[in-house]
């Protein structure tokens, strides 16, 4: 199927780009398909390309020497990732990007974006806005991990996911599709603890959960837990 360059305007960083810019980017893009469980790139690879996810879902993760993983970010359609090489010379990806579903993405050379930015300050600005958002989110998550107990972190994690990618289900409630392991990697705990906490919440009627699925029944109750206002 042919790809419409104007769709690129849905990418935050290109929202203020001209039509010509979008066509130019599109002409320099390679389409890649990545199967569920496969990788766009690995932590440590030279950061030649940045990507724009056009369908599917992916995650950015970091793993330590023992192989334990943390989930830095979950990516949905029209999000850009791997673009720090547009700023730094000879950058390497600081994280691994893995497809959570069969996905497609556009790959564009970071060098190309770098050159475009020289003469298009609006792209630099929108990229800086994106980066500012990351910095703030990472600072918040860092503080949470350092100071909050696990139940509150899981609540905060679900609330963040809700605002970033929650899908309203027909019967009210918000649908999220993640494994316990995913949620554990996002909130800095283990899948066992996530399972226990969700079971407890289910008894209280806050959520329903199943295989790779959490349905949030009472977001307000989660907010209360996240703020430590309950019991």
| Number of residues near DNA (by CB under 7 A) | 21
Contact 51, 40 (CB under 8 A): yes
Q: Which does 127 bind (CB under 5 to 8 A by kind): its own copies, DNA, none?
A: its own copies
Q: Which residues contact 1 (CB under 8 A, 6 or more apart)?
A: none
Residue 128 engages its own copies in binding (rule: CB under 8 A): yes
**The CA-based dihedral angle spanning residues 157, 160, 161, 164, taken in that order and rounded to the nearest 10 degrees:** -160
Calpha distance 168→146 (Å, rounded)? 31
Nearest to 86 by CA among 56, 109, 120: 109
String of contacts with its own copies for each residue 42-81, x by CB under 8 A: --------------------xxxxx-x-x-x---------
Q: Which of 149, 170, 171, 172 binds DNA (CB under 7 A)?
A: 149
Nearest to 77 by CA among 49, 107, 104, 96: 104
Tokens of 128: 């800086």
Residue 163 engages its own copies in binding (rule: CB under 8 A): no
Q: Which does 7 bind (CB under 5 to 8 A by kind): its own copies, DNA, none?
A: none
In the bound state with its own copies, the residue whose beta carbon lies nearer, of 121 and 205, is 121
Calpha distance 47→30 (Å, rounded)? 15
Contacts with its own copies by CB under 8 A lie at: 62-66, 68, 70, 72, 84, 87-88, 91, 94-95, 117-119, 121, 124-125, 127-129, 131-132, 134-136, 138-148, 188, 227-228
Contacts with DNA by CB under 7 A lie at: 149-151, 179-181, 188-193, 195-196, 198-199, 209-213
């Amino acid at each position: 199927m042919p790809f419409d360059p104007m769709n690129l305007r849905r990418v935050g960083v290109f929202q203020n780009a001209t039509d010509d810019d979008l066509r130019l980017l599109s002409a320099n893009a390679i389409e890649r398909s990545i199967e569920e469980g496969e990788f766009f790139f690995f932590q440590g690879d030279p950061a030649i390309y940045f990507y724009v996810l056009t369908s599917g879902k992916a995650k950015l993760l970091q793993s330590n020497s023992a192989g334990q993983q943390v989930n830095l970010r979950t990516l949905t359609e029209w999000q850009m990732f791997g673009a720090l090489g547009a700023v730094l010379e000879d950058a390497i990806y600081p994280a691994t990007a893995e497809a959570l579903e069969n996905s497609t993405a556009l790959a564009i050379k970071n060098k190309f974006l770098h050159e475009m930015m020289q003469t298009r300050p609006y792209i630099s600005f929108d990229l800086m806005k994106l980066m500012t958002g990351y910095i703030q989110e990472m600072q918040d998550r860092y503080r949470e991990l350092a100071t909050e107990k696990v139940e509150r972190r899981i609540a905060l994690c679900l609330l963040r996911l809700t605002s970033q990618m929650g899908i309203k289900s027909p019967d009210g409630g918000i649908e999220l599709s993640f494994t316990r392991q995913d949620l554990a990697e996002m909130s800095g705990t283990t899948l066992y603890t996530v399972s226990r906490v969700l079971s407890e919440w289910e008894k209280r009627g806050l959520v329903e959960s199943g295989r790779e699925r959490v349905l949030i029944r009472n977001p307000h109750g989660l907010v209360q837990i996240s703020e430590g206002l309950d019991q």
